[in-house]
Amino acid sequence: MRSGSKAILLIAQADPGFENAWPAYVQQRYMLAGLGLKSPDTRRATGFDDFLAALEKETVAFGKPVVYVHGDTHIFRVDKPLFGSTSRRSIENFTRVETFGYPDTHWVRAIVDPQDPQVVSFRQEIMKENLVNHGVKSP
């Protein structure tokens, strides 16, 4: 990229369902094995297929950190869910950050450091006022 950008941060509401495009061995290992289920033989098409294909192509071409931040399903996580359609391996310069949401209403701090090879890192910020006591007494 000629602009000299060190990273790209995309922010959207939608969870594009990265897991739907995972290779079967990854689905089996991370999602289905504990449930005693087998990966489907054919992949179900979704409305995000073109977006994920473009995201893969542009992320690989950029070659530097690309971060996709989203809410939607609101299961807090920072992971590497984008897999190469040819390599069938995780695309290492891509990171997904999924934010908190109701009923776990907290927030995520983004730390930008152009000197860090990853450029952007994230830290969860837990709001004490929003903690739910699950029958555990506070110290």
Mean pLDDT, residues 33-55 taken together:
83
Binned at pLDDT 50, 70 and 90, residue 133 comes out as: low
At 125 the pLDDT is 95
Q: Is 80 a residue whose pLDDT tops 90?
A: yes
Q: Please check whether residue 52 is in contact with residue 85, taking contact to mean a CB–CB distance below 8 angstroms.
A: no
**Average pLDDT score over the chain:** 88
Query: Where in the chain are the domains?
Result: 8-130
53: left (phi over 0), alpha (psi -120 to 50) or beta: alpha
Cα distance between residue 95 and residue 10, in whole Å = 10
Position 44 scores a pLDDT of 79
pTM score of the predicted model = 0.85
Predicted local distance difference test score (pLDDT) of residue 94: 98
